Amino acid sequence: MKLNLIEEKIEVELEIILVKNKNITNDIEILEKLDFQGEADTTALLPELGKLYVGCGEPQSDNIRCAVAGAMRIFATTNFNEALIEASNDEFLREIVEGIELGSYEFKKYKSKKDDKKKTKKTINILVSKVEPNIIEIFEDAINLTNSVNMVRDFVNTTPEDFYPKIMAKKAKKIATQNNLELKIFGEKYFKEENMGAISAVGRASRHDSRLIHLTYKPENALKKIVLVGKGLTYDSGGLSLKPADFMVTMKADKSGGSAVLGIINAVSKMKLPIEIHAIVGAVENMIGGDAYKPDDVLVARNGKTIEVRNTDAEGRLVLADCLCYAQDEIKDFDYIIDYATLTGACVVGVGHYTTGIMGNNIELNNKLQECALRSGELATVLHFNKYLKKTIKSKIADICNISNTRYGGAITAGMFLDEFIKDENKQKWIHCDIAGPAYVEEVWGCNPHGASGAGVRFSVEFIKNLISE
């Protein structure tokens, strides 16, 4: 999709008209015959007039974004190649650009037959009051952000046969090269030297060696330093605690947290934000085999804590435990540390497919990230730690158990497990984001397609931008 900013209205094949508050002023008779009343998430294509009406509901940011994304899906099915959309008073320019880019996304890598309609590159002209520096900056930032989201979608949608730890490291290297970032990649030898027994155990039965990836963006005169840690399970079979067949499908999406971390640092570096970012990914494949780690094993994490394994399908928290320890040992004087993971089905049960669960010890910080999520168009809610649940992850034979002894509160107990690997001086700086719900959904929703959504990128960039104005 090609996007142009224009100052004067031009003749195009298709005009996309956003209907706000059901306020229809033109083509009323035709639209009434189609029973189009301008409600949110409804569209009316009038091909003979070259118009596409899209209902927005109330003129709010995410309503605009989702309406434009819906329009792009309709536009993609037509033979029209050029369209125009008006950014009234430039108020929602960012949302319009994001809606165009996010709504135009398709993942067709594995389709053998290509759609002829999609071969011609389509053009969208965005009418603004004046193409001036601040408008161009909004436009370019939205492009950089959505390109990063769509990159994450590609990573997550790619099959495990084509995307394993070595490939994830290659993708990180490409991001580093494009953005002049520092890059460190560690493997099994390093894990052994640093006593990282948790991450090492999870990947032990895979034919693909695990990787720890560390990307660094260091702008001059950085205002803050943030550490991002992502769960990069390129595939999760459940290990010896094997998942049922139906639950194994979509587990290519278990790398969503690590992919999000790569997307965030890519966006921040392209936007040249004055915030130092460290992006750390534990890239691992959890498989079965004669060398697989087992329930009843006791693992030793980098910080010396011992972990009783009672379920090998609770592997993401083991990977994150060592990655969080690495981050706190190797990166000094950071302001925040945030981890991202498709960690628990319990979070999906608790808050639904579309919502991220935010956890941590600092309630004010958790609330701030939630506010940024909602502003960015991502759904999130805070799940509070519960002192009564802490006893459910105690172990009789080790320091801690990798699963709770109750089926209830699983998202929170997983977050409390991670808290055991956060140093006391960093507990108020840490946030845990369980993106198991929104990371991969097998239906179209809002501005998201079937499959990967790129969850976490938009709200994290919003959070980082917010730090600049503090």
Catalytic residue ranges: 243, 317
Block residue for tokens 């209830």 = 408
Of 104, 110, 96, the C-alpha closest to 122 is 104
Rounded distance, CA 342 to CA 356, Å? 9
Bridging pattern class, strands 82-86 and 51-57? unpaired
Beta-strand relationship, 123-127 and 82-86: parallel
Q: How many Cβ atoms are within 10 Å of 21's Cβ, its own excluded?
A: 11
277, 228 Cβ separation under 8 angstroms: yes
In angstroms, what CA-CA distances link 171 with 42, 155, 177, 267? 38, 9, 10, 14
- 9: number of Cβ within 10 Å: 11
E strand or H helix at 200: helix 197-202
Beta bridge partners of 43: 54
Judged by DSSP in three states, 13 sits in: coil
Backbone φ and ψ for 225, nearest 5 degrees, come out as -130, 125
